[in-house]
Amino acid sequence: MSKFVRGMIASGVLLFAACNQSPSNKSCTPRVPTDNSVPGTLADWCQVEISNGDVTPLASDVVPFSLTTPLYSDGAIKRRTVRLPPGAAATYTDAGVLGFPDGTVFTKSFGFRQDARDTTLPIQWIETRVEWKAAGSWSFMSYRWNDAGTEAVSLPGGEVVSFSYVDVDGAMQSPHYLVPSMLQCEQCHSEPGAIAPIGPKSQWLNTDYAYPEGTENQLAHWSHIGILTGAPDPANAPRLPVAADPDAGTVEQRARAYLEANCGFCHNPTGNARVSGLFLTATTTEPIQFGVCKKPVAAGPGAGGRKYDIVPGSPDASVITYRIEATSPATAMPQIGRSVVDTHGVALVNEWITELPGTCN
């Protein structure tokens, strides 16, 4: 029996005890550290807690949100929130991260169900990552939940958490899930040349969200509650499609969106994978730069004996396919944060490579 299943059973009593607690009514004053100290527990941030088995905002100005195409993260269930200082707003931009003011705090919580197909099952929350801005710079910390979901404690050195669960397709998955160290947060959050959030850009936010008061486009909602200024009508704002939704765009559009979300944060001209010369942002236009007939450089065994990053028409001859199908940390891409195969993502990328025209010789 897997550690996860055993853990679920062992903690079941506590878990359900936690689920029956009502939301915290304690007064809690959010305070974003400006002196480089880091709160020791998630509760100190006064932003979210686990209530009735799910991540719950602790105040009305904590705004939940989602992204059109997220990072795969071993198939984790994710919950995101943002809170801006009272009266403050982010400034809109078409390209890149929205202009968030000092004092902005994001949370992103990661959990799994024992069987992802059964949404009535409780979610075992593993960690909540906090990202905050002070004096113009972003910082990170992950908070590791106890099994009962009652307390999350800072874990600056990270941890590998190994367990098993059944995925949405009914397949058993056994990830070595990575709670990142502080520096591993920065390893991905390194674009463009500075530490910054990845998700909160128009291209990922420009979609509907089911708020308690009704469904609304997120950019429109943020504008109307006053935390975003300068945004155009969502119809005129950039949007990358939901990669997983066949109706959301062409195969190429969805595959490029998937590659940007899962690879582009490192594979861009200033990111950590810049040394490879392979750039997987959706705006990269030179085919050789996004891998077509590009020879791998320092990939070593990561190339799997294949000659080019992408061979048009031949996913099985393409290094990219090899690396997104790999699970050894020596060869898997992205390099951290994925230890099991995203079969839907692989299928999409392969469909795109298959329809690419041309040849490398």
Partner 1 sequence: MKRLFTLLAAGALASACGSDNNGNVVNVDPNMSESAVSAAFSGAAANSTIQMAAGTYHFANTLNLSTQNGVVVKGAGIGQTILDWAGQTAGADGISQNVPPGGTVKVQFEGFTIQDTVGNGIKVTGGNGVHFSQVEVKWPTRQTHGGYGIYPVQSKNVLVENCKISGASDTGIYVGQSDTIVVRNNEIFENVAGIEIENSFNADVTANNSHNNTVGFLVFDLPDLQQVGGHNIRVYGNQFVNNNTANFGDPSGTVAKVPAGTGGAVMANTKVEVFNNTFTGNTTAGFAVISCFTGVDPAQDGACVTGNPNYNPFPSLIHVHGNTFSGTGTAPLMNNQNMSHPSFVLAYLLSTGLPPASGPHLFPDNHVSEVLWDGVVVLGNLQICSNNNTAEHFHNANLHLLSVDLDNPDLSQVMTFDDAAWDCTPTGFPLPAVPVPTF
Burial of 321 (0-12, 13-18, 19+ CB in 10 A): buried
- Asked if residue 190 lies in contact with residue 265, where contact means CB atoms within 8 angstroms, the answer is yes
**Residue 176 interacts with partner 1 (CB under 8 A): yes or no:** yes
Quote the radius of gyration of the chain (alpha carbons, Å). Answer: 21
Residues 229, 206: Cα–Cα separation, whole Å: 15
The smaller minimum CB distance to partner 1, of residues 47 and 187, is found at: 187
With tokens 């450089």, the residue in question is 297
Give me 279's structure tokens: 């750039």
**DSSP character for 152?**
E
The smaller minimum CB distance to partner 1, of residues 135 and 235, is found at: 135
Choose which of 25, 29, 36, 285 interacts with partner 1 (CB under 8 A). Answer: 36
Choose which of 306, 324, 325, 350 interacts with partner 1 (CB under 8 A). Answer: 306
Site string for partner 1, 258-297 (x = CB under 8 A): -----------xx-x-xx-x----------x----xxxxx
The smaller minimum CB distance to partner 1, of residues 244 and 360, is found at: 360
Could you tell me which stretch among 123-131, 179-187, 235-243, 245-253 binds partner 1 (CB under 8 A)? 179-187
Give me 253's structure tokens: 């559009």
Helices (H) and strands (E) in the chain, counts: 8, 16
Name the strand (E) or helix (H) holding 12: helix 12-19
Helix axes 12-19 and 3-10, enclosed angle (nearest 10): 60
Overall residue count recorded for the chain in this entry? 361
Choose which of 86, 136, 212, 300 interacts with partner 1 (CB under 8 A). Answer: 300
Preceding amide of 334 cis, omega within 30: yes
The smaller minimum CB distance to partner 1, of residues 129 and 239, is found at: 129
Could you tell me which stretch among 14-22, 83-91, 159-167, 199-207 binds partner 1 (CB under 8 A)? 159-167
Q: Which residue type occupies 338?
A: R
**DSSP character for 267?**
S
Site string for partner 1, 3-32 (x = CB under 8 A): ------------------------------
Could you tell me which stretch among 35-43, 77-85, 93-101, 255-263 binds partner 1 (CB under 8 A)? 35-43
Choose which of 1, 135, 235, 298 interacts with partner 1 (CB under 8 A). Answer: 298
**DSSP character for 282?**
T
**DSSP character for 295?**
P
The smaller minimum CB distance to partner 1, of residues 207 and 331, is found at: 331
- Asked if residue 301 lies in contact with residue 330, where contact means CB atoms within 8 angstroms, the answer is yes
Residues that contact partner 1, how many (by CB under 8 A): 57
Give me 152's structure tokens: 């999350």
The CB-of-35 to partner 1 minimum distance in angstroms stands at 8
The smaller minimum CB distance to partner 1, of residues 1 and 275, is found at: 275
Q: Name the nearest CA neighbour of 334 among 194, 190, 127, 206.
A: 190
Choose which of 12, 16, 23, 40 interacts with partner 1 (CB under 8 A). Answer: 40
Could you tell me which stretch among 17-25, 101-109, 211-219, 324-332 binds partner 1 (CB under 8 A)? 324-332
The CB-of-283 to partner 1 minimum distance in angstroms stands at 18
- Contacts with partner 1 by CB under 8 A lie at 35-38, 40, 153-160, 162, 176, 178, 181-184, 186-187, 190, 193-194, 269-270, 272, 274-275, 277, 288, 293-307, 319, 328-331, 335-336, 339, 360-361
